[in-house]
Structures are given as C-alpha cells and as structure tokens.
C-alpha cells in the first residue's frame, strides 16, 4: 500500500507481519480466513487520512509466524499477539476492527481487556462463536461446513486442500454470499493465493479452526453473560450467509453494552467487494 511501511516484529514469542501508515489516533485492522492483511488494501488508505492505521497478519496467516500445536491458535493467543504488537509500535490504547476470524480475535481481546487498551470496537460479519456452535442449525452447518472440515485431525484437511489450494479457497471466497471472483481486486487475489499455497499456512489455518472447537468454545462459555463495555459497531453483509441465517445484531444483544449495527451491500467479503461503503461506515463510527 502506498504510504505504508511494512514490518515483521517480535511480539509474544511470535513474528507478526504488519503495515503501518497514516497519522492520528491508532486503529488496528484484523483480517479473517482465508485472507491476509491485504484485505485492507483499499480501505486502509482512506482511514489513513485521519488515523494511524495498522494492518496485521494473524499468527498462522500471511507472513506471520506459524507455530506448532492447536493450543497456539486460540483467539486469546492471537489477541495477545496483537495487544503486544500495538504496545511495541507505541500505541498503548487503540481502536480495533476485525473481520471474520479477526473479529473473533477482536471480541476475545475486548473480553480480556482489563487495562483499558481498546477504545472503539468493530466486529464484521460474525455472530458470537458460542452462539454459532451451541445453537447450530442445518442451513448454517451446510453453509459453514468448513468449520468442521478444517477441524478434522491432521493431515486429512491439509492433504485434500493442498491438492488444489486455489480451487478450495476460491470456493470459500465465492461461497458465503454475493461474490464473484472478478469482484476481488487482482492484486489482493495474488496476495491471498501466495499465502494459501504455503503448506504451513494451510496447516495453521486448520489449527485455527481446531482450536475454535476444542478450546475457544469453552473459553467463551466461561464468559457468557458478560457485556463488553466498549462502544461497538456490528457490520455485516446484507446478502451474506450470516444475514440470511440470523438477525445478526440480535445475536450480540447482551454481549455488547453500547452497540450499533449496520448492513453493508454484499456478502461475507464486503470489505473486498464494497470497499468504499466499508471505509465510509468505519470513518463515521471511528471518528
């Protein structure tokens, strides 16, 4: 991204890749599966006109470390990486935006935020992890089958995916609502493909989903009934799988104390397919 500096910093026992640009109050942007921080290429420069913007690859994704073991991939551990990253960059307090897996990391960071590090919180196109898994319906299981496929024991999903990673991961991009491959920026697709063709990235992404079923569900169960106090915005794709299956804002009632919600045109990957609308919604809330 023009005007952004790339770094790979040692934090929390990992090497986390990030890009930093802009000037003003800091905001951290977290991507989801099966993407990288390239997700924000068309949104981050808009925000950088008013904020210092940090985009980071979650551990296991992109150019960040890919540690061994399912326990390394809880949302809590991923969140610790990001809190440490922002501290190293000199931002003890920051606004936080996450999409998909990044939103689940952001929610866990907010639950664990006992030091007032997080200001505003934006969660994009997810329902709470515990809600999705504890009240699973047929149509959700059919659309989000990958949660259970990727969580199968090593090396089953890895070997099947690596037989044709572009075919598998592009089917994910196109399968969760109102997207065509031509809707994605060619440069972003190139970055995504370079990442998901790496066998270690595929293994790490599978461990991410294994951790969600084996560990994160229990961590979230322990926090049921807790309200996150941070001012929060829930954004979701108006034509996406989550909006078709749920009243997305209602799933967050009782979990976000100060919440507003907004639908954005498109499906699950509305950040890629509707970057202008996404940037405008973020600017309105964060500013």
130 is catalytic: no
268 is catalytic: yes
What distance in Å separates the CA atoms of residue 110 and residue 116, rounded to the nearest whole number? 9
Catalytic residue among 99, 208, 268, 272: 268
From the centroid of its chain, how far is CA 89? 20
The full DSSP string for the chain is -TTEEEEEEEETTEEEEEEEEESSSEEEEE--TT--GGGGTTTHHHHTTTSEEEEEPPTTSTTS---SSGGGGSHHHHHHHHHHHHHHTT-SSEEEEEETHHHHHHHHHHHH--SS-EEEEEEES---HHHHHHT--HHHHHHTTHHHHHTSPTTHHHHHHHTSHHHHHHHHHHHSSS--GGGS-HHHHHHHHHHHTSHHHHHHHHHHHHHIIIIIHHHHHTTTTPPEEEEEEEEEETTSHHHHH--HHHHTTTTEEEEEEEEESSSTTHHHH-HHHHHHHHHHHH-
Q: Dihedral through CA 251, CA 256, CA 259, CA 261, nearest 10?
A: -30
Structural tokens at position 131:
């809600």
Catalytic residue among 57, 100, 125, 207: 100
From the centroid of its chain, how far is CA 74? 13
Query: Catalytic amino acids?
Result: 100, 268
């Amino acid at each position: 991204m023009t005007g952004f500096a790339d770094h790979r910093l040692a934090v929390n026992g990992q090497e986390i890749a990030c890009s930093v640009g802009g000037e003003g109050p800091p905001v951290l942007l977290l991507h989801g599966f099966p993407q990288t921080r390239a997700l924000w290429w068309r949104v981050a420069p808009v925000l950088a006109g008013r904020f210092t913007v940090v985009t980071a690859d979650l551990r296991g994704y992109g150019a960040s470390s890919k540690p061994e073991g399912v326990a390394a991939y809880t949302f809590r551990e991923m969140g610790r990486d990001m809190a440490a990253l922002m501290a190293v960059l000199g931002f003890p307090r920051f606004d936080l935006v996450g999409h998909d897996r990044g939103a689940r990391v952001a929610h866990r960071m907010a639950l664990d935020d006992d030091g007032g590090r997080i200001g505003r919180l934006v969660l994009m196109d997810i329902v709470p992890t515990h809600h999705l898994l504890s009240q699973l319906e047929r149509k959700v299981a059919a659309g989000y089958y990958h949660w259970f496929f990727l969580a199968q024991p090593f090396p089953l999903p890895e070997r099947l995916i690596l037989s044709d990673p572009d075919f598998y991961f592009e089917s994910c991009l196109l399968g969760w609502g109102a997207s065509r491959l031509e809707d994605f920026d060619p440069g972003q697709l190139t970055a995504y493909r370079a990442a998901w063709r790496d066998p270690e990235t595929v293994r790490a992404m599978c461990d991410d989903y294994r951790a969600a079923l084996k560990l994160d569900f229990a961590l979230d169960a322990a926090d049921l009934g807790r309200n996150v106090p941070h001012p929060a915005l829930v954004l979701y794709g108006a034509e996406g799988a989550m909006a078709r299956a749920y009243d997305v804002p209602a799933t967050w009632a009782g979990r976000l104390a100060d919440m507003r919600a907004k639908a954005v045109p498109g499906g699950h990957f509305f950040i890629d397919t509707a970057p202008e609308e996404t940037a405008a919604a973020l600017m309105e809330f964060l500013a």
